[in-house]
Amino acid sequence: MITGCYFRWLEIGMVESVKIFLAAIIQVSHVNIQALAAIAESEG
């Protein structure tokens, strides 16, 4: 019973961690794209 609750909590924690991780990657990628666009404009 206790182990079942523990694994359920672990599963939820993993899902939340993945969501946060993906959100962070998307934000960083967005910033990088903006920076590259700005560089391309100044170069062009």
Residue 27 to residues 6, 10, 24, 44: CA-CA distances in angstroms? Answer: 31, 26, 5, 26
| Mean pLDDT computed over 8-16 | 91
Instruction: Name 37's Cβ contacts closer than 8 Å, sequence gap at least 6.
Output: none
Q: Determine what percent of the chain is predicted with pLDDT higher than 90.
A: 73
Predicted confidence at residue 17, as pLDDT, reads: 94
Q: pTM for this one?
A: 0.57
pLDDT of residue 5: 85
Q: Say if residue 37's pLDDT is above 70.
A: yes
Confidence band of 36 (pLDDT split at 50, 70, 90): very high
Q: What ranges in the chain are assigned the alpha helix state H?
A: 2-43
Number of compact structural domains in the chain: 1
Domain coverage including residue 10: 1-44
Give the pair of three-digit tokens for residue 9. Answer: 């909590």
